[in-house]
C-alpha cells in the first residue's frame, strides 16, 4: 500500500505484530467523541451505522476528526449491500465491518462490493481516497482493493 489516509497501514501492522489494539465504539453524532479518541491514543474507532442513528455525513465527520492522529476509523455498515458499502468506502475509512455475513455467497457479495473490477463491482468516487488528486489515480485502484 502506498498511502494511509486513515491509518490503515499503522492499524494492520499493529494487528500483524500480535499487539493488542484498543478502540471504542462510536454511536453518537458528535464528532468530538472521535476527536477525543484520536487524541487519547486509541488504535481504532468502530463507527457504528448498524445500531446507531449515524448518517453518511456524520460518518464522514468522524473519519475527518481522526485525521492527523494514529487512530484508524473503522465503519460498521448497516447492511451487506453494495449500494451501502460503496459510498462508505469512498469516505476512505481504514476499513469497514459488514454485519450478518453468514454464508459463502454473502461473503463473496461483500468482497465484490469492496473491490474494483475485474475482481469486484466497486465504482469510482475517490475524492477523499486519493487525497483530492495527490495520489495518482492510476495507482489508486490497486491500493484501494484492500
CATH number of the domain residue 39 falls in: 3.20.20.60
Report pLDDT for 1: 41
Residue 27 domain boundaries: 8-144
In a domain, 3, yes or no: no
Report pLDDT for 119: 77
In a domain, 39, yes or no: yes
In a domain, 35, yes or no: yes
pLDDT tens column, 125-146: 666 666 677 767 666 555 555 5
In a domain, 62, yes or no: yes
> How much is the mean pLDDT over the chain?
88
Q: What percent of the chain has pLDDT over 90?
A: 69
Q: What span, in angstroms and rounded, lies between the C-alpha atoms of 64 and 44?
A: 13
pLDDT tens column, 6-48: 888 899 999 999 999 999 999 999 999 999 999 999 999 999 9
In a domain, 113, yes or no: yes
Cell 487524541, located at residue: 39
Hey, is 48 helix, strand or coil?
Answer: strand
Q: What is the pTM of this model?
A: 0.83
pLDDT level of residue 2 (50, 70, 90 thresholds)? very low
Report pLDDT for 139: 66
Cell 475482481, located at residue: 119
Residue 76 exposed, middle or buried by CB count within 10 Å (0-12, 13-18, 19+):
buried
In a domain, 81, yes or no: yes
Can you state the percent helix, strand and coil of the chain, rounding each to 5?
35, 10, 55
**Euclidean distance between the first and the last CA atom of the chain, given in angstroms as a whole number:** 9
- What does each C-alpha distance from 96 to 37, 88, 91, 138 come to in angstroms? 18, 8, 11, 23
Determine contact, residues 94/7, Cβ cutoff 8 Å: yes
Catalytic residue (one of 19, 51, 108, 131): 51
- Answer with the residue of higher pLDDT: 65 or 118: 65
* Residue 62 is a catalytic residue: no
Domain count across the chain: 1
Nearest to 74 by CA among 57, 88, 56, 87: 88
In a domain, 102, yes or no: yes
Amino acid at each position: 500500500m502506498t498511502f494511509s489516509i486513515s491509518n490503515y497501514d499503522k492499524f494492520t501492522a499493529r494487528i500483524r505484530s500480535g499487539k493488542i489494539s484498543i478502540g471504542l465504539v462510536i454511536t453518537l453524532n458528535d464528532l468530538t467523541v472521535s476527536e477525543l479518541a484520536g487524541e487519547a491514543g486509541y488504535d481504532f474507532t468502530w463507527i457504528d451505522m448498524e445500531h446507531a442513528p449515524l448518517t453518511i455525513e456524520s460518518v464522514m465527520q468522524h473519519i475527518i476528526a481522526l485525521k492527523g492522529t494514529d487512530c484508524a476509523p473503522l465503519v460498521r455498515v448497516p447492511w451487506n449491500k453494495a449500494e451501502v458499502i460503496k459510498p462508505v468506502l469512498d469516505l476512505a475509512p481504514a476499513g469497514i465491518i459488514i454485519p450478518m455475513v453468514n454464508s459463502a455467497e454473502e461473503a463473496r457479495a461483500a468482497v465484490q462490493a469492496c473491490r474494483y473490477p475485474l475482481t469486484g463491482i466497486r465504482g469510482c468516487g475517490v475524492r477523499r481516497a486519493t487525497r483530492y488528486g495527490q495520489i495518482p489515480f492510476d495507482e489508486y485502484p490497486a491500493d484501494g482493493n484492500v
